[in-house]
């Protein structure tokens, strides 16, 4: 699951490098640091611990939902920043600067859906592989026992993908909503630009103009993956 998130995300980050390096006002450029790794993988790690302690299969859905949210958001950002048209605020639909949190584009939204579905498919393949290794057959328990006759295989597979993908889309949507409401938005008075960092890329300090102090893009990413995990966990419980 980690590789399914990391490898395509790194590949996408290499697209349009020059244009992305020019986005000096946003708080998510450059190689991933420890905070970004924690923001994208911390909740999934907690879900893995939850499964190890309880052996409750619903934690595996939450684990996949967290990575689906991280993947959906990352793909949306990497593709959306290359879109020809300016992004618009998810709340007001007014144009916002490219790369700024809370902005959405058609290309980014399609990439978001693709990323969530990709992790859903990987989760299904991982579940089947784990069950084959554990049981030597294709019995599947999703809170109850189902045989893998052809109709059941299709139905169960679609349910697993949907549970994970919906968690991913929910998490990515939460990321955009938080990004345009409570995430820090700052202003550099020296150059008059709005940004998400302190200091600004120009080297001067910035002041908070909107949002909660300390609620950075990394914190929003962490909350978004938590939302993805919670939605996938809840759906798995509901459908069990």
Query: Residue ranges of the alpha helices (H) in 14-149?
Result: 17-21, 34-54, 58-80, 106-135
Burial class (CB in 10 A: 0-12, 13-18, 19+), 239: middle
Tens digit of each residue's pLDDT (9 = 90 or more) over 67-78 = 999 999 999 999
Cα 203 to chain centroid, rounded: 30
Band the pLDDT of 97: cuts 50, 70, 90: confident
Band the pLDDT of 136: cuts 50, 70, 90: low
Band the pLDDT of 177: cuts 50, 70, 90: very high
pLDDT at 172 over 80: yes
Which pLDDT does position 147 carry in this prediction? 43
β-pairing, 140-141 vs 103-104, is unpaired
């Amino acid at each position: 699951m980690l590789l399914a998130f990391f490898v395509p995300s790194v590949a996408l980050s290499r697209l349009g490098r020059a244009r992305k390096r020019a986005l000096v006002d946003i708080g998510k450029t450059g190689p991933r640091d420890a905070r970004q790794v924690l923001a994208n993988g911390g909740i999934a790690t907690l879900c893995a611990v939850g499964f190890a302690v309880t052996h409750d299969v619903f934690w595996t859905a939450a684990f996949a939902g967290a990575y689906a949210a991280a993947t959906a958001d990352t793909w949306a950002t990497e593709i959306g920043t290359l879109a020809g048209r300016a992004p618009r605020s998810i709340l007001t639909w007014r144009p916002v600067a490219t790369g700024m949190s809370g902005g959405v584009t058609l290309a980014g939204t399609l990439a978001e859906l693709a990323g969530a579905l990709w992790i859903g498919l990987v989760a299904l393949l991982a579940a089947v592989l784990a069950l084959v290794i554990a049981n030597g057959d294709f019995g599947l328990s999703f809170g109850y026992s189902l045989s893998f006759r052809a109709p059941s295989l299709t139905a169960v597979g679609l349910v697993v993908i949907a549970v994970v993908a919906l968690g991913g889309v929910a998490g990515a949507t939460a990321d955009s909503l938080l990004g345009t409401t409570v995430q820090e938005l700052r202003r550099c008075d020296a150059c008059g630009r709005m940004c998400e960092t302190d200091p600004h890329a120009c080297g001067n300090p910035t002041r908070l103009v909107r949002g909660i102090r300390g609620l950075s893009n990394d914190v929003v990413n962490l909350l978004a993956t938590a939302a993805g995990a919670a939605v996938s966990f809840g759906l798995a419980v509901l459908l069990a």
